[in-house]
């Protein structure tokens, strides 16, 4: 069974840092692209970042570029999101999800349960 389990969410002060983790199991992690998507309280979904391909190409939404860094450790089946210079508007539930990039795409077909990041003084 495919499982994605996020952790690392917490209450942090504006300007602070946090590292989110996503533990993957039940599939060949290195064969999939991974993405982070967030949802502010009571709001819609917002794509944040993705890491794709054997060369680990990375993509970011403009609002986090330069502050957030997505990375992965295929030996540990782990996805990460390093979040620096956090702002109140980064407050959200952060979901990790997977997709098959290239000709095998079938949507973001597995999602974690999410981890809550709260940025507040």
Q: Residue holding tokens 């973001």? A: 108
Residue with Cβ nearer another protein (5 or 120): 5
Which residue number, 18 or 70, has a Cβ lying nearer to another protein?
Answer: 70
- Within 13 A of 109's CA, how many CA atoms are on the CB side? 12
Name residue, tokens 């957030």. Answer: 68
* Three-state DSSP class for residue 59: strand
At its nearest, how many Å lie between another protein and the CB of residue 61? 4
Contact status, residue 112 vs residue 98, Cβ threshold 8 Å: no
Minimum distance between the CB of residue 7 and another protein, rounded to whole angstroms?
15
Q: How far apart are CA 96 and CA 70, in angstroms?
A: 11
Chain contacts with another protein (rule: CB under 8 A): 35, 37, 44-47, 50, 59-62, 95, 103, 105-109, 111-114
Closer residue to another protein (CB): 16 or 91: 91
């Amino acid at each position: 069974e495919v499982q994605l389990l996020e952790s690392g969410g917490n209450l942090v002060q504006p300007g602070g840092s946090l590292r989110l983790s996503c533990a993957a199991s039940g599939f060949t992690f290195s064969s999939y692209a991974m993405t982070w998507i967030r949802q502010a309280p009571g709001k819609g979904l917002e794509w944040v970042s993705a890491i794709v391909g054997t060369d680990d190409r990375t993509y970011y939404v403009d609002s986090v570029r330069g502050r957030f860094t997505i990375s992965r450790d295929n030996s540990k089946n782990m996805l990460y999101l390093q979040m620096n210079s956090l702002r109140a508007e980064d407050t959200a539930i952060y979901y990790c999800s997977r997709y098959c990039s290239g000709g095998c795409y079938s949507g973001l077909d597995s999602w974690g349960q999410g981890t809550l990041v709260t940025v507040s003084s």
